[in-house]
Structure 1
C-alpha cells in the first residue's frame, strides 16, 4: 500500500459544537468518501476550536500539510474547503502549489472537488475567496450583535469572573451562591493592602480551587481584581489594527462606555463596588514600575539561564527566574505550595558556563550530544523540511510495527494456517515491505540541511566567541546542548555548592531516525 492508496483527513471546527459541521460528522463523511473511492485512512488531523480565518496556531493543519507535501500520503481529504482555510487564495494557493510539487492531491467531499482534475483549481480559488469573504461578513455581524447587547446591558459571552454567574433570563451578572463568599474574601484581602501572592497562598492553604480547578497564583488574582465585571461593569477588550488592515485583541480589558453618554455601562451585580475597584486598581498600580509617566511592560529576560533553569524540588519542576541577585522558583513566588528552590545567580551562571565549555570541548566523534546539537541547529535552519522528514519517519515506523505484528501473527501466534491463509499473508507482507521501501526512498530524496558545528566543539574558538556574545545569544547556544538545568533546595545560610545542587540535563536527538 503506497501513497496513492492511502489518505489523511483534516478536520476543523471554530467552535466545537454538535451539528452538521461538527468534527464527528466531518470525519464520518470523509471516511465514507475514502471507502467509496478505495482509499485507506492513515491518520486524522484535528483542530478543535481553531479558526481558519484568524492568525492562530493550527497544529493539525501543519501536520496534515507536512504529510501531504512530503509524500507520506497521496491524498488529503477535507469535509469542505472552508474547513482547510478561510484566508483566501493567499494560503490555499500555496497549499495547492506545495501539494502539486509533491504529486499529491486535495479532495473536498461536500464541494465535490478533486485537485487532480485540471479544471478544479479555478473553482478552489473561487471558493477560497468566498470563504474569506464570509468570515469578514461574519465578523461584521458579530460586531453589530455585541454592540446591541452592550446597549442593553447584557452579557455578550464568555466565562464571567469568579464568584459570578449569568442569569439565563436577564443575561446579567448575579452572585454565585457557592463561590461568591470566596470572591469577596479575595476583594477584602486586596482592599486591606495584602500582596497578591499572600492572597494566593491563603486560598491554596484552605484548598479553595481556582476557576480552572487548580491552584491560585498572583497572576490569576490580578486578572480577577482588574476585571470590570468583578465590579458589575460591562467589560470590553482593547483591539489594535494589524499590518494587514485587520484587528487583533491586546488582552487589555477595560469598562465599556456608552458611545453617547460616555458613562460606564452596568452588567448586573458585582462582587465589589465601582469605588472599591478604583481603590484596588490604585493600590496595584502603586506597586508597578513607572517610567517617564508611563507604565512599562516587563523588560525582556536578560538573565543567562532564563527558560532553561527549573526548580528541582520533587513534585514542583516549575521554571525559575532571576529576581534580584538570585534565581527563584516561580511557583513559590506565585503562591503555590512549593518550598521553593533559590540560588545566587552568579555562581549558577558560572558553573553552567564552565560545564558547557568543558563538555563540548571534550566531545568525541559519535557522541550523542554532537548529534543532538547538529539536529537542533539544522531544525532552526529549515523547520519545514524537518516537518516533512518527521512525517515520513513516523509513517515508516508505524508500517514497520504493522509488519512486525503481521509476522508475529504468522510465526508466533499461528493465525495464518492453510495455503489460502499463507497466500494472504504473503500478499499483505509484500505490500507492507513495498510501502516501507518506497517511503524510505522518499525520505532519502528529501534534502538535508547541513551545518558545521566544529566551532562550538573547539574550546579556544568557543571561549573567544562566547566573550563577545550577549546573554540572549549565549542562551541560544546553551539551548542547542542543554535540555534543562535543575536546582535543588539549599540550606539557608550555607554557600551554594554547584556540584551538589545543580543538575544539567544534556540534550539528546529528539528523533535519531529523522536525521538519517
Structure 2
C-alpha cells in the first residue's frame, strides 16, 4: 500500500508511528467522499510550538472519529490568515480537495485558523461548499457550517477585527523600539550580530565584511570583490558564492552602518499594506535631524555616504546602471528567465547581443566556466521549436488550453483588476452588514426597526449584486477560438516580446543550452543552436529534431502564402 502524502509532515510535527496508527493517520484513508475529511492546521504565532500543534491535530481527529469520518490529509502551514497578499498553498490545497470531490468535510481547529479576512472570504467559500454538499466544522467552537452559518459570519468578522488590533499593536511597538535605537528585528547585515537589541561586530564575519567596505572605498568594483572572495573560497553567511549585486545591496543598507533603517511599506491598489517595502538607503532621523544609531556598524555614516556617492558616480541617466529609482525597463529578450546554463544550472541573462551565464558574469570563474550564445539566433531557434511543438499537439491538449487561458488573461488585464476590486468591495459590504446588525441588536443605537430594515435591505442588495458580478467574472471564458494550433501560431507571429514570453511560460518550464562538443571528426559540422536547445515542455512531450521543426514551420508559411494568393 502506498504511503500517505502527509506522513512526512506528521512525523515532522513529532508524532510517533504508534500514535499515528491509533489516530488512523498512518495508512492512506480510503472510502467514499462523504466518509473522508480534510484537516487544516495553521500555526499563527511562535507560542504555538509543536506540542500545541500536535494537540490541535488530536482534537481534530477525535472530532472526525465522533462524526464517523477518516482524515484523508492533514494540511499544515505557518502562514498569516489575515494578509490578502500571502498565498496559503496548504489552505488552497485543502479547499481544492473538497471542491474536487475527494472529501466532503473540512475540519479546522478554530475559526480564526481558517481565515482572518472576514465573512467576505468565508461566505464565498461556504457558498461553494454548499453547492457540492460539503461543509466546514470548527472543532473548538463546535460549529457546523450547515447549521451555524450566522455564527461563522460573526466569528469570522471578530477574527478580522482581532487581526487589525494585532497589526496596530505590532506597528506601535516596532516604531517605539526604532525611535529608541533598538534593532527592529530580522536578519542582521553581514558582519554584524544583535546583542541585547543592539548591533555589534560579529566575531567571524566582521573580519571579512570590513575588507569589503575598504575595497569599495578604494573604488574597487563589486564584481571584482565578489570574484576575489569566491576565488579564495570565502562564502556568504548562507554558504553561497558572492555576487556583485549582493555586495551592492549590502552596501546600500543603512543597517550596515549601524543605523536604524527608515522603511515604508508598499501598499496595494486598495491602500492595504503588502509584505514588500520601498527600497530606501536613508536612515531614520531623530527630532534634531541626526540619524538614529542602533549599535556598531561595519562602516560609519560618513563612509556609508562616500560609498553611496561612488555608486551614484557610476550611474547612467536613463539606464538601469546604478539607478535604483528608474524601475523595471521594458523587456527585449524573449527567452530571459527560461534559459539555463548547462554547467551551473543557473539563469542565462540578456547581455545585449547575446545570452550569457549570470553566475559567470556576477560571481566569476569560480562559480561557473560560463557559456554564451547569440541572442537573435537563439530566439529564432526557440521560435522554430515552439511552433513545431504546438503543431504536433491536439486541440484538446491541456497545454493548448493553458495557453488560451493565459493569453486571455494577458489580453484582458482589466477583467483581473475588476475581480480584485469587486472582491475587496464585497469584503467591505459584508463587514458593514455585520456592524449594522451588531449596532441594532447589541448597541445603544436609537435606530428604529424601519430604518434598520431599509439599511439592511440596501446592504443585502449590494452584497447580492457583488456576488453575482464576481461569479460572472470568475466564470470560464469560451476558449474554443484559441484552441486551434493554427490560431496560436498567429498569436506567436503577432505577439511581440511580451506576448511571446506569455506563450512560452504557458508551454515550457525551462530551456537548457547544451555545450558544443569538444572534438568533432573532420568534415562533420557542429550541431546547430536548435539541436543544442533542450526544452522542458510542460506536457512532458519530447521535442522533435530541427528538420521536423523547419518542415512544420515551412508548411505553415506555405499555407499563409496560399491563403493570401
Residue 252 of structure 2 is matched in structure 1 by: 226
2:300 paired with 1:273 = yes
Query: Partners in 2 of 1:448 and 1:27 — Cα distance?
Result: 40
SS in 1 for 2:263: strand
Q: Pick closer, same or farther for the CA change 1:484–1:190 going to 2, 3 Å.
A: same
2:287 paired with 1:260 = yes
1:77 deviates by: 0.7
Residue 371 of structure 2 is matched in structure 1 by: 341
Residue 532 of structure 2 is matched in structure 1 by: 501
After the TM superposition, which residues 36-55 of structure 1 pair with which residues of structure 2 at under 5 Å, given as runs?
A: 36-55=66-85
Query: Partners in 1 of 2:152 and 2:61 — Cα distance?
Result: 21
1:360 deviates by: 3.9
Cα contact 1:289–1:296 (8 A) shared by 2: no
Q: Pick closer, same or farther for the CA change 1:289–1:193 going to 2, 3 Å.
A: same
Question: What number of residue pairs does the alignment pair up?
Answer: 434
1:187 deviates by: 1.3
Deviations 1:340-398 (A, max 9, x none): 1111101111222233334444x2769xxx73523533664899xxxxxxxxxxxxxxx
Cα contact 2:346–2:359 (8 A) shared by 1: yes
Residue 155 of structure 2 is matched in structure 1 by: 127
1:506 deviates by: 3.8
1:278 deviates by: 0.8
Query: Partners in 1 of 2:283 and 2:53 — Cα distance?
Result: 36
Cα contact 2:407–2:503 (8 A) shared by 1: no
SS in 2 for 1:290: coil
Q: What is the TM-score of this pair, normalised by structure 1?
A: 0.76
2:135 paired with 1:109 = no
SS in 2 for 1:99: helix
Q: What is the alpha-carbon root mean square deviation over aligned residues?
A: 3.2
Answer with 334-343 or 9-18: which moved more.
9-18
Q: Which ranges in structure 1 are unaligned for 5 or more consecutive residues?
A: 384-446, 511-516
Cα contact 1:485–1:502 (8 A) shared by 2: yes
Residue 429 of structure 2 is matched in structure 1 by: none
Residue 29 of structure 1 is matched in structure 2 by: 59
2:228 paired with 1:197 = no
Deviations 1:72-92 (A, max 9, x none): 111101111111111111111
Cα contact 2:79–2:86 (8 A) shared by 1: no
Greater relative contact order (CA < 8 Å, ≥ 6 in sequence): 1
Cα contact 1:341–1:490 (8 A) shared by 2: no
One of 145, 156, 176 as aligned partner of 1:148: 176
Residue 62 of structure 1 is matched in structure 2 by: 92
Query: Partners in 2 of 1:297 and 1:46 — Cα distance?
Result: 37
1:320 deviates by: 1.3
2:400 paired with 1:374 = yes
Residue 357 of structure 1 is matched in structure 2 by: 387
Q: Pick closer, same or farther for the CA change 1:96–1:372 going to 2, 3 Å.
A: closer
Query: Partners in 1 of 2:540 and 2:531 — Cα distance?
Result: 27
1:213 deviates by: 2.9
Query: Partners in 2 of 1:381 and 1:33 — Cα distance?
Result: 45
